[in-house]
Every structure is written in structure tokens, then in C-alpha cells.
């Protein structure tokens, strides 16, 4: 849900893994098609996110520009806000 607010900031083509030419795999991918993410579901991946605070701050200082900061968590979980955390 958090991610949806970011989707409007960019709208780029989907990045979808290529299917192997094996009929059984192709058939299951087809069946799973309605569940697999659409282009707009992954548009936020086109944003060049950093997930390391030191790297991001260095970039901002070097380039003398502000940061767009997305902080989430508080659930004692691993990962970054780019996925469920």
C-alpha cells in the first residue's frame, strides 16, 4: 500500500523474467499470469533507490542535492521498504 504513492512518480515498462521454452513451465506461467505483477506494479523499481544510508548521504553531499527518503519498518523485520519489511 505504501508503494502505491510512489507509482505515480514514474510509469515505465515492466521488467518480466523471460520464460524458458519448456511447455510445462510456459503453461504454469500462463496460468499464473493474472497473479504476476503488471508493469505498473513494478514501476517503482525504475527509481534508482539506494538502500545504504552511507551511500545515499555521500551521493547527496557529492551532488549537492536533497534526498528523497522513504523510511518504513518498526516491525523488527529484515529487508528494505522496497519489499515487505
Partner 1 sequence: MADHLVPVALNTDRLPDTPDGRFFRGLLGDFSQGLWVVTPAGKVLGFHYHKARPGDSWAENQKRWAGDTVAMVREALKAAGSLPPRDPKGHADPLAGRGRGATPDGEVRLAVTVVELDRAGRHQGSPVVDSAYLTADRWAAFHPPAGAKVGQTWTVAEDAAGRFAPALSPITDAIFSPRPDDVTKAAATAKLERVGDGYAVVRYAGTWESFHNRDDDPKYPVRTAATGEGVGVVDTKTGKLTAMVWALSGTYRNSPPAHQPRKTAAVVEWSEK
Q: 13 or 63, CB closer to partner 1?
A: 63
**Least separation, in Å, of the C-beta of 15 and partner 1?**
9
**Which stretches of the chain bind partner 1, using CB under 8 A?**
1-10, 17-18, 20, 22, 24-25, 27-29, 31-32, 34-37, 41-42, 45-51, 53-54, 56-57, 59-61, 63-85
In whole angstroms, give the CA distance from residue 73 to residue 33: 30
- Residues 14, 42 contacting (CB under 8 angstroms): yes
- Residues 19, 26 contacting (CB under 8 angstroms): yes
CB atoms within 10 A of CB 7: 13
**Least separation, in Å, of the C-beta of 7 and partner 1?**
7
Calculate the CA 52 to chain-centre distance: 15
Q: 13 or 60, CB closer to partner 1?
A: 60
**Least separation, in Å, of the C-beta of 51 and partner 1?**
5
Amino acid at each position: 500500500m505504501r508503494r502505491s504513492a510512489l507509482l505515480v512518480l514514474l510509469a515505465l515498462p515492466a521488467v518480466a523474467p523471460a520464460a524458458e521454452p519448456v511447455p510445462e513451465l510456459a503453461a504454469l506461467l500462463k496460468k499464473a499470469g493474472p497473479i504476476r505483477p503488471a508493469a505498473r506494479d513494478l514501476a517503482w523499481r525504475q527509481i534508482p533507490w539506494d538502500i545504504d544510508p552511507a551511500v545515499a548521504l555521500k551521493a547527496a553531499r557529492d551532488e549537492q542535492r536533497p534526498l528523497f527518503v522513504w523510511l518504513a519498518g518498526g516491525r523488527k523485520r529484515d529487508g528494505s521498504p522496497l519489499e515487505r519489511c
